[in-house]
């Protein structure tokens, strides 16, 4: 019996250890999966005509003729939307109607003055037009259909009056007719409500289709275009269809917000709010024609890795970030590789184990354990404030300071991997060379180093991947989140790592473009995974070669 | 005559025009070249020693005026961190130290069992082939940059925590320590696995020979034999977690407070590293605040140095004890 329990216990233990490893695999997929999925949509997605317009205008990519044809085709379908809204608005938007009436009155007044009429005729026309204006504004603000009819009829009796024909005053009658029609179709008591809802609706449509053709182009790039991506358009369409409201949970009617009840989200149909109005067909029209209005096409945006971006990475790519990362890492490699390889050569070839070597090794280990943020502090205190000004450079964070800081950070990695690479070279190689009378130095340069080179390169690649991902050391020594592309190593630069931080917590605008947020961090992860895969591949080849001989 | 000719032919064939005897000048040159070269190499090798020395020197130099101006005891025991307060700024880092230790300890609670179990799985249970499949996964976990983990913590994990566990804020000590534990895992697994694999085969065989199961062999024989290495693994994992900046800065919520009650992981904390990262960019060079941040850096440096010494001690002990067995 006891032995059986022991066996069962043993099996449970085995399974538990297996589960621990399984958990690791699951964790890896849970972390990488969502990020990679969302990140890839920065490059491969369904782009709308707005995307192509944006690419052409902001970055100069694409075929202007084709974009023009496409946007004209889309505008033709969109025109109906704007027409429906304008019609509805003429019955609802009191302020706008009033403003228009006042404007017509003003224009007509100017026109009268220019016509140099006799004084009494001028006064009569002036007071009549004022009366018409007042009647109209009264009609606009009135809620009673009787009153409105009365006012409008009063106004319209002058429609064929020869004094007004072919003058700017004819605008009055157009306005009156329009309003008469709209007022008949609209529930006048709900006008205030409609106006609020309409404003919301117009905002969504602006987000979906871009600013309407009659508006000026906004100054900020992010407002210049509608939904550039089909998934964005789908989300906006949902918002167009459903209005979100936070209400108290049902069944607990007498609880109020102060008692700490969390509110529940509910969605109401927007269409129902406009039931029976002229605007009702709009919803069906947009839903049916959304693809004709936006013309989605599967887009492979490979220029994402080259393009600059508009503020907040709202549009565009991560070109400067990739450039900055490459600059920093390659420059730091130039600093660290000679030191690393020479140190490793000295530690393996020139000396025997002794107290000095022990101290050096301890220092390498200490260096490997120093927190990366402390390297950042060191970089500020030593490179930025002390060393670079000592040689006449500017005392400010720059690529040079950042890459030197990163070089110090990765020195232990470089030393350890080169040491290992040199150690794996078989003794027989060296002995053969020495037996031929070559000096120790010559043996190292012509025999050991070439044999160890693939191993050293593996170490270089691993250091590269480590350096490319570091953020803390460059926070104060080289990094910025917004700024121009650097043209010398004495300037700051954007990097993928600092950019990822900024996209996640720094920049509020980027939260609206999750594909670009995730695109940045996925580019960083991919860069590092590719470097690591390369290192693994090279290491396996080195092993095979050394085994084969 | 004939012999001389033969010698000449051999010399010509080998490319030597002169006899294979060094002149005095050549000898001295060779000697100097060798030893001066070696000295030059040594000088370059000492760079890493120099780097450690310079790091300490410059961090201490920047922090020193602060430590002279304010009391060290108050600095270490004060809980109020208001470096930019008008009038009397307060520089008490206790809450920050507690924050660092708190998330690190919580991270170890998650990562030590999983790490040690995984190491046992890799070294005791599965074959070499499966190990070769699992190892790259651990290497990928180690290679993912910390800012990517932080990104995940803020934009993926935090909303999940809010949604499924009902926290008011997704960025808290739990979030940070979960991510830290994932980051510490590769270190713990690889060091622990090395020391488990290094225990002698004969120990295991003796145990199995006595009829012990795998569980009993692992826990009563292998782990006691490899305990120094496992402790070193945990200490190295701790070092990784306590020095980590980006993840804790992004995921911990950054409220400078001592967690109360202590077991409630859904509170915001703030660590030393996050404080440096978050505030360094906004300080004026040479101000008290700037120097206080360097003082925190010095504290951090000393802590990791201590942990490093502890891990070295255990690693040497592990090497020695395994060498004996």
Distance CA(B116)–CA(B123), nearest Å, equals 10
Confidence of residue B14 (pLDDT cuts 50, 70, 90): low
Tell me the shortest Cα–Cα distance from B321 to chain A, in angstroms.
Answer: 20
Tell me the shortest Cα–Cα distance from B267 to chain A, in angstroms.
Answer: 19
pLDDT at A187: 67
Three-state secondary structure of chain B: CHHHHHHHHHHHHHCCCCCCCCCHHHHHHHHHHHHHHHHHHHHHHCHHHHHHHHHHHHHHHHHHHHHHHCCHHHHHHCCCEECCCCCCCEECCHHHHHHHHHHHHHHHHHHHHHHHHHHHHHHHHCCHHHHHHHHHHHHHHHHCCHHHHHHHHHHHHHHHHHHHCCCCCCCCHHHHHHHHHHHHHHHHHHHHHHHHHHCCHHHHHHHHHCCCCHHHHHHHHHHHHHHHHHHHHHHHHHHHHHHCCHHHHHHCECCCCCCCCCCCCCCCECCHHHHHHHHHHHCCCCCHHHHHHHHHHHHHHHHHHHHHHHHHHHHHHHHHHHHHC
pLDDT at A283: 83
Higher pLDDT, B63 or A254: B63
Distance CA(B322)–CA(B316), nearest Å, equals 10
Q: Report the residue of A378, A422, A524 to disrupt the B interface, i.e. the one with the largest count of B CBs within 10 Å.
A: A378
CB atoms closer than 10 angstroms to residue B276: 26
CB contact under 8 A, A518 and B216: no
Q: Report the residue of B32, B151, B166, B208 to disrupt the A interface, i.e. the one with the largest count of A CBs within 10 Å.
A: B151
Buried b (16+ CB within 10 A) or exposed e, B212-228: bbbbbbbeebbbebbeb
pLDDT at A208: 84
In three-state secondary structure terms, A225 is coil
How does pLDDT run across A72-113, given as a tens digit for each residue?
888 888 888 888 887 777 767 777 778 888 888 888 888 888
In three-state secondary structure terms, A297 is strand
Cβ contacts of residue A475 below 8 Å, gap of 6+?
A: A373, A376, A498, B277, B280, B281
pLDDT at B325: 45
A322 pLDDT exceeds 80? yes
How does pLDDT run across A457-493, given as a tens digit for each residue?
888 998 999 999 999 999 988 888 888 888 888 888 9
pLDDT at B294: 92
Tell me the shortest Cα–Cα distance from A132 to chain B, in angstroms.
Answer: 59
Nearest-CB residue to A504 (from B46, B136, B150): B150
How does pLDDT run across B191-225, given as a tens digit for each residue?
999 888 888 888 889 998 998 888 888 888 888 88
pLDDT at B298: 93
How does pLDDT run across A37-52, given as a tens digit for each residue?
988 888 888 888 888 8
| Cβ-based burial of A386 (10 A; exposed 0-12, middle 13-18, buried ≥19) | middle
CB contact under 8 A, A372 and B41: no
* Share of residues in chain A with pLDDT > 90 (%): 18
CB contact under 8 A, A378 and B54: yes
pLDDT at A547: 62
Tell me the shortest Cα–Cα distance from B183 to chain A, in angstroms.
Answer: 11
Least confident window among A269-273, A307-311, A378-382, B97-101 = A269-273
Confidence of residue A62 (pLDDT cuts 50, 70, 90): confident
Distance CA(A463)–CA(A457), nearest Å, equals 10
Chain A residue closest in CA terms to B125: A14
CA-to-CA dists, residue A275 to A140, A204, A499, angstroms: 21, 19, 47
Contacts of A366 in chain B (CB under 8 A): 52, 305, 308
CA-to-CA dists, residue A344 to A82, A412, A442, angstroms: 72, 10, 17
Across the range B226-235, mean pLDDT stands at 91
- Contact predicate B48/A343, CB 8 Å: yes
Which run of H or E residues covers position A173?
A: helix A170-185
In three-state secondary structure terms, A309 is strand
CB atoms closer than 10 angstroms to residue A9: 13
Nearest-CB residue to A20 (from B38, B118, B246): B118
Size of chain B, expressed as the number of residues it contains: 325
CB atoms closer than 10 angstroms to residue A487: 7
Tell me the shortest Cα–Cα distance from B41 to chain A, in angstroms.
Answer: 6
Distance CA(B20)–CA(B16), nearest Å, equals 8
CB contact under 8 A, B148 and A343: no
Contacts of A365 in chain B (CB under 8 A): 308, 312
- Contact predicate A510/A503, CB 8 Å: yes
Highest mean pLDDT among A113-117, A186-190, A478-482, B14-18: A478-482
Which run of H or E residues covers position A298?
A: strand A297-300
Helix axes B24-45, B47-69, angle to 10 degrees: 40
Across the range A364-376, mean pLDDT stands at 91
pLDDT at A27: 93
* Share of residues in chain A with pLDDT > 70 (%): 95
Distance CA(A371)–CA(A383), nearest Å, equals 18
CB contact under 8 A, B301 and A497: no
CB contact under 8 A, A377 and B213: no
Quickly list DSSP for A391-422.
Answer: TT--SS--HHHHHHHHHHHHHHHHHHHHHHHH
Nearest-CB residue to A17 (from B121, B144, B146): B121
Backbone φ and ψ of A118, nearest 5°:
-60, 155
CB contact under 8 A, B34 and A18: no
How does pLDDT run across A207-266, given as a tens digit for each residue?
888 887 777 777 787 788 888 888 888 888 888 888 887 777 665 544 444 555 567 777
Higher pLDDT, B41 or A501: A501
Nearest-CB residue to A17 (from B125, B137, B308): B125
CB contact under 8 A, B239 and A369: yes
In three-state secondary structure terms, A453 is helix
Contacts of B214 in chain A (CB under 8 A): 10, 13-14
Contacts of B245 in chain A (CB under 8 A): 371-373, 471-472
Higher pLDDT, A374 or A223: A374
Quickly list DSSP for A500-543.
Answer: HHIIIII-SGGGG-HHHHHHHHHHHHHHHHHHHHHHHHHHHHHH
Highest mean pLDDT among A140-154, A376-390, A428-442: A376-390
Confidence of residue A545 (pLDDT cuts 50, 70, 90): confident
Least confident window among A351-355, A406-410, B239-243 = A351-355
Handedness of CA A214, A219, A225, A226 (dihedral sign): negative
Distance CA(B82)–CA(A425), nearest Å, equals 57
CB contact under 8 A, A501 and B250: yes
Contacts of B148 in chain A (CB under 8 A): 35, 469, 500, 521, 524-525
> How many contacts does A have with B, using Cβ atoms within 8 A?
245
- Contact predicate B199/B325, CB 8 Å: yes
Contacts of A415 in chain B (CB under 8 A): 48
Helix axes B94-120, B173-198, angle to 10 degrees: 40
Contacts of B244 in chain A (CB under 8 A): 371-372
Nearest-CB residue to B312 (from A23, A360, A365): A365
């Amino acid at each position: 019996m006891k032995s059986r329990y022991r066996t069962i216990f043993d099996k449970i233990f085995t399974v538990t250890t297996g589960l621990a490893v399984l958990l690791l695999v699951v964790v890896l997929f849970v972390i990488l999966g969502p990020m990679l999925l969302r990140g890839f949509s920065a490059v491969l997605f369904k782009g709308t005509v707005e995307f192509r317009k944006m690419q052409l205008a902001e970055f100069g990519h694409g075929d202007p003729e084709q974009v023009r044809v496409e946007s004209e085709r889309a505008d033709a379908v969109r025109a109906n939307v704007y027409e429906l809204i304008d019609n509805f608005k003429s019955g609802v938007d009191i302020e706008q109607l009033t403003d228009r009436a006042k404007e017509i009155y003003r224009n007509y007044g100017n026109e009268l003055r220019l016509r140099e009429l006799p004084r009494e005729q001028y006064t009569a026309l002036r007071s009549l037009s004022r009366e018409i204006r007042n009647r109209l504004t009264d009609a606009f603000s009135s809620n009673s259909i009787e009153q409105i009819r009365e006012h409008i009829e009063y106004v319209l009796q002058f429609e064929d009056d020869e004094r007004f024909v072919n003058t700017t005053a004819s605008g009055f009658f157009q306005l009156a007719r329009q309003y008469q029609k709209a007022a008949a179709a609209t529930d006048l008591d709900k006008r205030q409500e409609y106006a609020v809802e309409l404003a919301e609706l117009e905002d969504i449509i602006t987000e979906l289709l871009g600013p309407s053709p009659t508006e000026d182009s906004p100054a900020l790039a992010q407002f210049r275009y509608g939904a550039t991506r089909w998934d964005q358009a789908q989300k906006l369409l949902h918002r167009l269809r459903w209005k979100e409201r936070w209400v108290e949970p049902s069944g607990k009617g007498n609880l109020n917000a102060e008692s700490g009840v969390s509110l529940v989200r509910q969605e109401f149909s927007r269409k129902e709010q406009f039931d029976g109005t002229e605007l009702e067909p709009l919803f069906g029209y947009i839903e049916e024609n959304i693809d004709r209005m936006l013309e989605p096409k599967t887009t492979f945006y490979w220029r994402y890795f080259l393009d600059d971006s508009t503020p907040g990475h709202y549009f565009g790519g991560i070109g400067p970030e990739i450039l900055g990362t490459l600059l920093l890492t390659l420059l730091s490699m130039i600093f660290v590789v000679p030191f690393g390889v020479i140190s490793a050569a000295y530690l393996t070839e020139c000396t025997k184990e002794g107290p000095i070597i022990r101290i050096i090794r301890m220092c390498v280990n200490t260096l490997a354990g120093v927190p990366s943020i402390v390297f950042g502090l060191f970089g500020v205190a030593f490179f930025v404030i002390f060393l670079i000004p000592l040689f006449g450079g500017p005392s400010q964070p720059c690529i040079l300071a950042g890459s030197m800081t990163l070089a110090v950070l990765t020195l232990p990695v470089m030393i350890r991997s080169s040491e290992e690479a040199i150690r794996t070279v078989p003794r027989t190689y060296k002995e053969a060379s020495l037996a031929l009378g070559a000096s120790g130095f010559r043996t190292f340069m012509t025999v050991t180093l070439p044999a160890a080179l693939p191993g050293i390169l593996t170490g270089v690649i691993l250091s590269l991947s480590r350096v490319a991902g570091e953020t803390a050391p460059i926070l104060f020594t080289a990094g910025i989140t917004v700024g121009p592309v650097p043209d010398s190593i004495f300037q700051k630069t954007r990097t993928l790592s600092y950019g990822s931080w900024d996209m996640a917590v720094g920049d509020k605008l980027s939260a609206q473009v999750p594909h670009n947020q995730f695109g940045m961090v996925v580019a960083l992860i991919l860069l590092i995974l590719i470097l690591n895969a390369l290192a693994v591949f090279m290491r396996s080849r080195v092993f095979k070669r050394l085994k084969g001989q | 005559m004939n012999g001389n000719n033969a010698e000449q032919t051999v010399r010509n064939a080998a490319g030597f025009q002169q006899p294979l005897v060094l002149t005095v000048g050549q000898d001295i040159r060779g000697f100097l070249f060798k030893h001066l070269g070696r000295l030059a190499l040594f000088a370059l090798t000492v760079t890493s020693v120099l780097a450690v020395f310079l790091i300490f020197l410059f961090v201490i130099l920047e922090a020193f005026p602060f430590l002279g101006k304010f009391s060290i005891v108050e600095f270490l025991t004060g809980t109020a961190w208001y470096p930019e307060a008008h009038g009397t700024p307060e520089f008490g880092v206790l809450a920050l130290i507690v924050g660092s230790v708190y998330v690190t300890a919580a991270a170890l609670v998650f990562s030590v069992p999983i790490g040690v179990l995984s190491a046992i799985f890799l070294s005791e249970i599965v074959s070499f082939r499966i190990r070769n499949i699992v190892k790259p996964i651990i290497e990928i976990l180690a290679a993912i940059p910390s800012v990517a983990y932080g990104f995940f913590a803020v934009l993926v994990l935090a909303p999940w925590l809010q949604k499924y566990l009902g926290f008011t804020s997704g960025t808290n000590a739990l979030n940070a320590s979960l991510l830290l534990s994932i980051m510490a895992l590769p270190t713990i697994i690889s060091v622990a696995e090395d020391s488990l694999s290094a225990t002698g085969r004969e120990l295991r065989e003796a145990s199995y020979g006595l009829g012990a199961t795998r569980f009993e062999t692992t826990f009563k024989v292998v782990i006691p034999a490899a305990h120094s290495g496992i402790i070193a693994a945990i200490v190295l994992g701790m070092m990784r977690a306590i020095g980590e900046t980006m993840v804790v800065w992004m995921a911990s919520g950054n409220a400078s407070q001592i967690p109360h009650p202590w077991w409630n992981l859904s509170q915001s904390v703030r660590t030393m590293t996050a404080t440096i990262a978050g505030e360094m960019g906004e300080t004026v060079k040479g101000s008290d605040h700037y120097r206080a941040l360097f003082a925190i850096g010095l504290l951090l440096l000393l802590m990791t140095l201590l942990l490093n010494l502890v891990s070295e001690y255990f690693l040497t002990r592990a090497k020695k004890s395994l060498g004996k067995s």
